[in-house]
Amino acid sequence: MTKKTFTAAIAALTLVGTTALAGSHSETGNPMVGGAPMFADKTIVENAVNSADHETLVAAVKAAGLVETLSGEGPFTVFAPTDAAFAMLQDGTVETLLKPENKAMLQKVLTCHVVSADAMSMAIKGMVDDDGGMHPVPTVGGCTLQASYSGDTIMLKDERGRTAKVTIADVKQSNGVIHVIDTVLLPAM
């Protein structure tokens, strides 16, 4: 499937309808993330900085020089690992990635969590169904994730065979959508 076809499929399926899959909702209709309301009229970066569960991700985005990109028009879908997800990496991994000399590797890891589309959960599930249970998701970082789901839980497998679960879905942003995940997705080495 080409990027253009992928984007068109997402747009068409998004129009069919979307539902939030997780927990408490703020007054904006969006789920709360990291104890903070997520506002649909703010960018991915503007919302992420308020989440107590995404301090490592925000620091990494800043260190990688991706703040301007993820504040741009988009649309972007960001699979956002929590601080607990980063803590599950081998000791020293985050500190090593945050060093200036490792900026390119950090950018690669982070952009493997970003899709150049506005992919709501129902659209992802529809593509998974259309592909017989597993759908390839090309990222802006050049990685291909494999999406699947069980019940209401969307899962993403990275190129190393690691699986992340979406714990909070469909957090609308002015320039896309965030899906909170419980594992850092890594590119093939």
| Mean pLDDT across 79-99 | 94
Band (pLDDT 50/70/90 cuts) for residue 18 is very low
pLDDT score, position 32? 85
Name every residue whose Cβ is closer than 8 Å to that of residue 108 and which is 6 or more positions away in sequence: 141, 142, 187
The whole-chain average pLDDT of the chain stands at 85
Q: What is the tens place of the pLDDT at every residue in 102-131? A: 999 999 999 999 999 999 999 999 999 999
pLDDT score, position 125? 96
Band (pLDDT 50/70/90 cuts) for residue 178 is very high
Query: What is the pTM assigned to this prediction?
Result: 0.83
How is domain 3-181 classified at the CATH fold level?
A: FAS1 domain (2.30.180)
**Residue 2 pLDDT greater than 50, yes or no:** no
| Mean pLDDT across 160-168 | 96
Torsional sign, CA 168, 140, 49, 27: negative
Using an 8 Å Cβ cutoff, are 152 and 165 in contact? no
Domain range summary for the chain, segments of one domain joined by +: 3-181
Cα(34)–Cα(30) distance, integer angstroms: 13
Select from 116, 119, 175 the least CA-distant residue to 141: 116
**Residue 12 pLDDT greater than 50, yes or no:** no
**More confident call, 32 vs 111:** 111
